[in-house]
Amino acid sequence: MTAGDVGWAEHSGDRHSARDRSRRDLVSASGEIALNHIHTTRQIETLAREFEEQGYVKVENALSREQLTRFNAAVDRHRESHPERWVELSDSFREGTNVLPDTEDFDEAIENSTTLDILRAIIGEDITFEEFAIMLRDSTSNLGEIKGWHRDIVREYDRRMEIDAVSVMLYLSDVTENDHCFSIVPETHSRLVDVNPLDVDPGDGIDVLGPAGTAVIFHARAIHCGHLKPNSGQRRTLQAYYSRWRNQRTAEWSDIPERLYAKSDPTLPRRFYDKWNVTRILEGVGKRPADLSPDLSVSEVIQEVQRRGRAAM
């Protein structure tokens, strides 16, 4: 078992189990301090090194079965209650945007201790939350991925070093070899950073498979895409982005509501929600172009931004 493919323990179903225990009580048999109910400090250090080398790391059992049930039900509720928040990017790709002002159902996904402790080791204590979305990939016979191989946030090749965010993708459904999946080209965030996404062939990536509850932590600069499969059922994921604090955000359509930025939680990084009022947006696929009509909906803006991003590659 490599550091990039880990599932050391099963979660309990207790929603707040990691928060309710003192970290002084989480000690493994070897005497290592366990920062959460899956990983010890040594294991987290190993995962962080794997991330730095490969540009991604996979962690199984990041969500409990009970969390999976609740999150899937919350996705269904949000789709029904707030259809205006959902963007149709293709016949099979639907994205729920700006979800957090509508519901607190996904707060614990953003603050998930299993992934957050790994993120803290990767990014540091100045880690800040950037954005959140729900992504659905439906069954389709059209296997051409709308985004193709790409880097997140900024599509222009010459600006790739401006990308410094880290994403967490949480699987709400099983992802087998027959299902739509996330595919990534290792090391293209660093050692192979000069690779152009347009030069990547269809089979060059690694398909990141895993059961529901798996988390994939990846550098937004790493080249990746959605690999669509002809016999796939619906794939469901939650996706959040994080970065080091600075006076700039990656997207303008992922609001941070008051219940998050006003909370006092000593277990969270000190600046975790400090970007709630940051209005400076990185020029990229998270920013509304100035030449677009103000009458366009957010959904229409995102569709156009993605189209322009593809054309800019």
Q: What is the DSSP string of the chain?
A: --TTEE--SPPPS-TTHHHHS-GGG-B-TTSPBBSSSS-BHHHHHHHHHHHHHHSEEEETTSS-HHHHHHHHHHHHHHHHH-GGGEEE-SSSEEEE-S-TTT-STTHHHHT-HHHHHHHHHHH-TTEEEEEEEEEEE---S----SS-SB-SS---GGGGGG---EEEEEESS-B-TTS-EEEE-TTTTTTTTT--GGG--TTSSEEE-B-TT-EEEEETTS-EEEE--TT---EEEEEEEEEE--S-BS-SS----HHHHT---TTS-TTTTGGGG---B-SSTTS--TTS-TTS-HHHHHHHHHHHHHHH-
pLDDT in tens, 169-207: 999 999 999 999 999 999 999 999 999 999 999 889 999
Please, what is the average pLDDT of the chain?
A: 88
Q: What is the mean pLDDT of residues 133-141?
A: 89
CA distance 199 to 202: 10
Other CB atoms closer than 10 Å to residue 36's CB: what's the count? 23
What is the pLDDT at residue 73?
99
Locus of tokens 């970007």: 275
CA distance 91 to 234: 12
Q: Is the pLDDT of residue 1 over 60?
A: no
Which positions ≥6 away from 169 have C-beta within 8 Å? Answer: 182, 215, 216, 217, 218, 237, 238, 239
- Of 1-5, 40-44, 65-69, where does mean pLDDT reach its minimum? 1-5
- Of 1-5, 257-261, 271-275, 284-288, where does mean pLDDT reach its minimum? 1-5
What is the pLDDT at residue 160?
98
What is the rounded radius of gyration, in angstroms, for the C-alpha atoms of the chain? 19
Are the C-beta atoms of residues 241 and 275 closer than 8 Å to each other? no
What is the pLDDT at residue 90?
81
State the amino acid at position 103 in one-letter form. T
Tell me the backbone φ, ψ of residue 108, rounded to 5 degrees: -70, -20
- Of 18-27, 49-58, 112-121, where does mean pLDDT reach its minimum? 18-27
Confidence of residue 41 (pLDDT cuts 50, 70, 90): very high
Q: What is the mean pLDDT of residues 51-76?
A: 98
Q: What is the mean pLDDT of residues 1-28?
A: 38
State the amino acid at position 52 in one-letter form. E
Cα-Cα-Cα-Cα dihedral sign, residues 136, 139, 145, 150: positive
What is the pLDDT at residue 299?
84
| pLDDT over 90, % of the chain | 76
Partners of 134 in beta bridges: 96, 238
- Of 55-59, 149-153, 220-224, 226-230, where does mean pLDDT reach its minimum? 226-230
What is the pLDDT at residue 17?
39
What is the pLDDT at residue 303?
87
What is the pLDDT at residue 92?
79
Higher pLDDT, 68 or 93: 68
- Of 107-121, 141-155, 219-233, 254-268, where does mean pLDDT reach its minimum? 141-155
What are the structural domains of the chain? 5-312 (2.60.120.620)
Confidence of residue 143 (pLDDT cuts 50, 70, 90): confident
Token pair listed for 265: 């939680």
What is the pLDDT at residue 71?
99
Confidence of residue 10 (pLDDT cuts 50, 70, 90): very low
CA distance 247 to 276: 11
